[in-house]
Amino acid sequence: MARFIKKSSKTKGLPPGTLVHIGDKKTEKTEIKVIDYTSSNLKEFVCKKADECFTLKKKNSVSWINVDGVDDVELIGKIGENFGIHSLVLEDIVNTDQRPKIEDHEKYVFLVLKMLHYDEINHETKVEQVSFILTRSCVISFQEMKGDVFDAVRERIRSNKGRIRKMGADYLMYALIDAIVDNYFLILEKIGERIEDMEEILVDDPSPKTLQKIYNLKREMVFIRKSVWPLREVISGLVREESHLFRKTTNVFLRDVYDHTIQVIDTVETFRDMVSGMLDIYMSSVSNKMNEVMKVLTIFAAIFIPLTFIAGVYGMNFENMPELAWQWGYPMVWLIIIIVSISMLAYFRHKKWL
């Protein structure tokens, strides 16, 4: 089973704003990738050194600086310093145990979201923290590791599809949030399928393995919920607050993302309802099976125990047992045995146990 609890004890006792990475070391090397575009131009490159991207700050083009890996605290510190980001914000970026949240620091907006990955092999959902810094013309995204759900956004930028190249950094920000929320639907679809598969075996063929699976599902729902629930507040904050960094035209799109978020939360709650009902059904199912086993035992025991007694009686060695000498004694015993068996069976049928 995946371990969900992160070691946050490392920061204990350090002054606030000290950068200490919390979470599993997930990347080999931190990599900074930049996409810089206007409606007519597009530049895409990998920064070998952090300094290379600092010039983007002043350009009028829209820049998306994507940092894969947050365990190189020195690098994060340098970026933070250069873009004028508060040290407590940087601390939140490297501490990957944050709740989704939004903070408006006037000159920039800080956003923490959770990106979900579905591990097809172990049938498990994994959580990755993505932090965003939105300034007038830049979006800086910090991911725990390589691999994300933003490829479609990149493609749209490259191919100049849709309105993305014509809009500002706030629209890019929206597009990235939208990609994350859209991905939740995918994950929920996967979980929905598992739930429906489970439902079928639940009543027909419950096994201890099923119990384990239900527990895992329940556990996953707890963690997905933890990732998704605060999103509502975050995005509704974005919609209402009207930070000066978000243009009016972007607001209608944010409201669309908000609707999706509500839908995601709704589905999560529905799934939780379904999963939490499953355990009861499982127990009922198991109890039904046990009942059936008990019935068979009862019937066997109840039929043969008296018969064995009868046989035992005529196995006694008394000298004076007249039945033993009767000519029809033996057939008579068989007759008794048959009568007893049939009447027992009739009784059980009458009781509807058969």
Residues 225-254 that bind a second copy (CB under 8 A): 226, 252-253
Cβ closer to a second copy: 59 or 240?
Answer: 240
| CB closer to a second copy out of 40 and 320 | 320
335 near a second copy, judged by CB under 8 A: no
Give the E-state strand segments of the chain in sequence order: 31-37, 42-47, 62-68, 101-105, 108-119, 124-134, 138-143
Please tell me whether residue 40 binds a second copy under the rule CB under 8 A. no
- Choosing from 47, 274, 340, 345, the residue that interacts with a second copy (CB under 8 A) is 274
- Of the candidate spans 42-50, 66-74, 90-98, 127-135, the one that interacts with a second copy by CB under 8 A turns out to be 90-98
Sheet holding 138-143, edge to edge: 42-47, 31-37, 62-68, 138-143, 124-134, 108-119, 101-105
Dihedral of alpha carbons 131, 134, 139, 140, sign: negative
Number of residues that bind a second copy (CB under 8 A): 117
User: Is residue 287 a contact point for a second copy (CB under 8 A)?
Assistant: yes
Binding-site member from 20, 75, 239, 262 for a second copy (CB under 8 A): 262
Q: Which stretch binds a second copy (CB under 8 A): 42-50, 67-75, 120-128, 180-188?
A: 180-188
Closest by CA to 57, choosing from 112, 139, 173, 168, is: 139
Closest to a second copy by CB, 49 or 247: 247
Nearest to 324 by CA among 337, 333, 308: 333
Task: Please tell me whether residue 122 binds a second copy under the rule CB under 8 A.
Answer: no
Of 39, 55, 122, 212, the residue at the interface with a second copy (CB under 8 A) is: 212
DSSP state of 38: -
Q: Does 44 bind a second copy (CB under 8 A)?
A: no
Nearer to a second copy, 47 or 302 (CB): 302
Which residue in 222, 339, 342, 354 binds a second copy (CB under 8 A)?
222
Asked if 3 touches a second copy (CB under 8 A), the answer is yes
**Please, which of residues 126-155 interact with a second copy by CB under 8 A?**
151-153, 155
Query: Residue 238 CB: number of other CB atoms within 10 A?
Result: 25
Q: Please report where in the chains the tokens 């991905």 appear, as a residue.
A: 183
Structure tokens of 128? 């990755």
Q: Which is nearer to a second copy, 88 or 339 (CB)?
A: 88
Q: Does position 45 bind a second copy by CB under 8 A?
A: no
Dihedral angle sign, alpha carbons of residues 261, 265, 270, 271:
positive
**Cα separation, 252 vs 68, whole angstroms:** 30
The DSSP string of 267-319 is: HHHHHHHHHHHHHHHHHHHHHHHHHHHHHHHHHHHHHHHHHHHHHHHTT---S
